[in-house]
Amino acid sequence: MSASQGSPSAAAGGPAAGGPAEPGAAAVHVITGKGGTGKSTIAGALALRLAAGGGRVLLVEVEGRPSISATLGLREFPGAPAKVATAAGGGEVHACSLDAEVVLEDYLSSNVGSSLAIAAARKFGVTEFATTIAPGLRDVLLSGFIVAEARRGGWSAVVVDAPPTGRVARFLDVTRALGEIATSGPIHRQAADTAAFLRSGSTRVHMVTLAEPLPARESMEALDELRAVGLPLGSVVANRLLDDALCDAALSLSHDDVAAIAGAGPVAAALASELDDVAARARVQRRSFGDLAAGWPGPVARVPALPGGVRIEGLYDVAELVSALDHREVRDE
């Protein structure tokens, strides 16, 4: 594991320190990234990492996507927290997939207590009902659930498989939703309270990217957006990296070397083509990784590409590589 050097909070463009951590609350790790970068895999791996040694971690999915549940051998996550995996050293990962309709109905039942309101929500569809009241209500309720779980005890950490870069700032910037919600009352108070927690030292937002021009650029833009609304940033994860030794070997071959290999028969020609492709990818990867390191002075976790994709065994392997995302290693003391 390697990380770029520099003070996490003082370096320009680096991680935001946030306020002090809330005593007694579990750390909340929010994992985001451009679609296709493997953010769900990293979220699952981090949950396993944090649970190692006897921890009890909650993994929360907020968009109803089955990618990480399938990796763990499940068709989908349950609607309420339930154990889904055992970590090294006897730790446990529990998981749930948040359904906005269920969360809102539970909220109405617990906080409004009006059978008419609940009946109206059921009749018209809770999501549409919520959007009619206030477009930001869904995000307030989902993020509020996450914060409530972090505070209620029993979890050593909460890991959130969050929306991708194009939507994550709106999802987490609960203060933006305050303008769409009543200026007083229980929902407004919950939104303000949730916003304060998400900006505290108890929360970190981690960015998963690829060492390719477009994902790297979009990740840096998203980090700027998150920083601008005051959200505490943690680490960047460069995912699916080619092995350094393989890159070195491919880049060390001259054009004449590749041509000579290609002339030795059809099998050798296929190998030469593969080496040429690896060399091209290695050049892009190293250039993009250099751009990431230059624009992000905080921790950068390196996760290699796994042949054949990520299965449950591979997820445990990846868990060993994401220690840079540990909340205690990122936060300023």
230-243 pLDDT, tens digit per residue, is: 999 999 999 999 88
First to last CA, the chain: 22
Percent over 90 (pLDDT), the chain: 41
Overall average pLDDT of the 126-149 stretch: 78
pLDDT digits (tens, 9 = 90+) for 26-65: 999 999 999 999 999 999 999 999 999 999 999 999 988 8
Q: CA-CA distance, 110 to 114, in Å (whole number)?
A: 9
Model pLDDT, residue 11: 28
Q: CA-CA distance, 107 to 47, in Å (whole number)?
A: 27
pLDDT digits (tens, 9 = 90+) for 267-290: 666 776 777 788 889 999 999 999
Which residue type occupies 177? A
Query: In sequence order, which residues have a C-beta less than 8 Å from that of residue 8 and are 6 or more positions away?
Result: 14, 15, 17, 297, 298, 299, 330, 331, 332
Region of poorest pLDDT, from 3-7, 146-150, 153-157, 215-219 = 3-7
Model pLDDT, residue 129: 66
The answer to whether the beta carbons of residues 48 and 222 sit under 8 Å apart is no
| Count of beta carbons in the 10 Å neighbourhood of residue 255 | 9
Q: CA-CA distance, 203 to 19, in Å (whole number)?
A: 9
Model pLDDT, residue 94: 97
Return the higher-pLDDT residue of 17 and 88: 88
Q: CA-CA distance, 300 to 16, in Å (whole number)?
A: 15
pLDDT interval class at 228 (50, 70, 90)? very high
DSSP 89-120: GG-EEEEEE--HHHHHHHHIIIII--HHHHHH
Return the higher-pLDDT residue of 331 and 122: 122
CA nearest neighbour of 208 among 159, 147, 138, 157: 159
Model pLDDT, residue 190: 80
Model pLDDT, residue 130: 65
Q: CA-CA distance, 19 to 8, in Å (whole number)?
A: 14
Percent over 70 (pLDDT), the chain: 76
Model pLDDT, residue 54: 94
Q: What is the DSSP letter of 161?
A: E
Q: CA-CA distance, 109 to 123, in Å (whole number)?
A: 15
Q: Indicate the SS3 state at residue 126.
A: helix
Model pLDDT, residue 327: 45
Model pLDDT, residue 1: 36
Return the higher-pLDDT residue of 158 and 326: 158
The answer to whether the beta carbons of residues 101 and 127 sit under 8 Å apart is yes
Model pLDDT, residue 119: 73
Q: CA-CA distance, 324 to 306, in Å (whole number)?
A: 19
pLDDT digits (tens, 9 = 90+) for 156-201: 999 999 999 999 999 999 877 766 666 667 777 888 889 999 999 9
pTM of the predicted model as reported, rounded to 2 decimal places: 0.83
Report the chain's mean pLDDT, rounded to a whole number: 81
The CATH homologous superfamily of the domain defined by 27-242+297-323: P-loop containing nucleotide triphosphate hydrolases (3.40.50.300)
pLDDT interval class at 212 (50, 70, 90)? very high
The phi and psi torsions of 19 (rounded to 5 degrees) equal: -85, -170
Which residue type occupies 114? S
**Residue pointed to by tokens 């910037």:** 173
Q: CA-CA distance, 64 to 199, in Å (whole number)?
A: 25
